[in-house]
Structure 1
């Protein structure tokens, strides 16, 4: 191994940390959704299909494992993008990674609002319902935590 490869092994590229952040964020989000909805009789397959409904609408629920797999792919792609956006903005405004809790919490709330008031209404899934207060409140809180996760992985990526 030459010196360049040794240096790269000691300091992984930021993309590795951003990908790990997306995996961590996506997994925590799925675990949260499953823990909330499974006791109410909603199976994990349906939760992943509901993610794919953003692309396929109600047809997603008739596509079986195909929409489940696509839902998982979309979910992890979006989670990774959330981390990558935080990282990209932190390159311009370094305070975002110096104070990950201070800026990560509101970033997570902004993610919640953007997903529910912009992305979902523009998708085939349509405007979400906000009638389930427990789901809405717990989702906002969890998204605040997700924002901190984005900040922490972005900080790690910046330190490369």
Structure 2
């Protein structure tokens, strides 16, 4: 894809889809800890607070839209900073891993504490590692790969 905006849109769409599917597959289907609707409502609760959990499928839709908005922002940000950081250009998989970890840091140490001032303590355990791996493989690497393909097509 030669268009930068098209590549950003595609990477946000793919990353957002992979991330939400991973969350639903792992937490709702495999671990049976919640439902897909509750996952989406919890995303919506960042804006709508407790009302998100009583709003049914409409709030789930808002959660999905918010999820994609966040994915598009992370995709746009990667494309924006890529030209200024030479280490991102050296190895696409290393860049994707770094960006996935960066995404986890931003979401869990900046965004979530601002939106939800009272959060449970984070422990270095399997759920934390799993959440980082999801962002590496569903956000970081796909965005880095699409950006790399975009850079190659521009030449």
TM-score, normalization by structure 1? 0.83
Asked if structure 2 preserves the Cα contact closer than 8 Å seen for 1:105 and 1:148, the reply is yes
1:66-145 equivalences under 5 Å are 66-124=58-116, 126-127=118-119, 130=122, 133-145=125-137
Query: 1:93: how far off?
Result: 2.7
Query: 1:36: how far off?
Result: 1.4
SS at match of 2:119: coil
Asked if structure 2 preserves the Cα contact closer than 8 Å seen for 1:46 and 1:61, the reply is yes
Output one character per residue of 1:12-43: Cα deviation in whole Å (capped at 9) or x when no partner: 41111111111110111111111111131521
| Alignment match of 2:145 (pick from 135, 149, 152) | 152
SS at match of 2:132: helix
Q: Which runs of 5+ in 2 are unaligned?
A: none
| Alignment match of 1:27 (pick from 3, 8, 17) | 17
TM-score, normalization by structure 2? 0.85
Higher-Rg member (1/2): 1
| 2:38 alignment counterpart | 46
- How far apart, CA to CA, are the structure 2 residues paired with 1:120 and 1:41? 20
Which moves more between the two structures, 72-81 or 132-141? 132-141
Taking a change above 3 Å as real, the CA distance of residues 15 and 94 of structure 1, as seen in their structure-2 partners, is farther
SS at match of 1:42: coil
| 1:14 alignment counterpart | 4
Q: Which runs of 5+ in 1 are unaligned?
A: 1-10
- How far apart, CA to CA, are the structure 1 residues paired with 2:142 and 2:89? 11
- How far apart, CA to CA, are the structure 1 residues paired with 2:47 and 2:2? 34
Taking a change above 3 Å as real, the CA distance of residues 42 and 122 of structure 1, as seen in their structure-2 partners, is same
Asked if structure 2 preserves the Cα contact closer than 8 Å seen for 1:116 and 1:128, the reply is no
